[in-house]
Amino acid sequence: MQKLHIGNMIRKELKAQGRTMTWFANAIHSDRSNAYKMLKRDSIDLALLNKICQLLSHDFFLDCSQSLHSNAQSWNEGTPSLEPRQ
């Protein structure tokens, strides 16, 4: 199962949109140093993630949900059925 890293997801979206780290730091009312530290983490406060979703017009919650469903499906496909054989 691939572990989600929200910081990497945000970093990729910033790059795709051509946004700088200075822009991002200012948009979240932080400095560049704290913004870099935040993106190194694999988790984030949900209220902050909601704000970032709005700033970038990108639904990271949906990305996480889809990844979880994909991982669950992969896990289920590799799990033997508990139904009795006939």
**Residue 58 pLDDT:** 98
Cα 10 to Cα 27, 61, 77, 78, distances in angstroms: 13, 11, 30, 30
**86 inside domain:** no
Q: 68-83 pLDDT, tens per residue? A: 877 666 655 655 545 5
Q: Is residue 39 part of a domain?
A: yes
pTM above 0.85, yes or no: no
pLDDT in tens, 7-59: 999 999 999 999 999 999 999 999 999 999 999 998 899 999 999 999 999 99
When divided into structural domains, the chain yields a total of 1
Q: Are 75 and 69 in contact (CB under 8 A)?
A: no
Q: Which domain holds residue 54?
A: 6-74
CA dist 77 and 80 (Å) reads 8
Q: What is the CATH number of the domain that holds 60?
A: 1.10.260.40
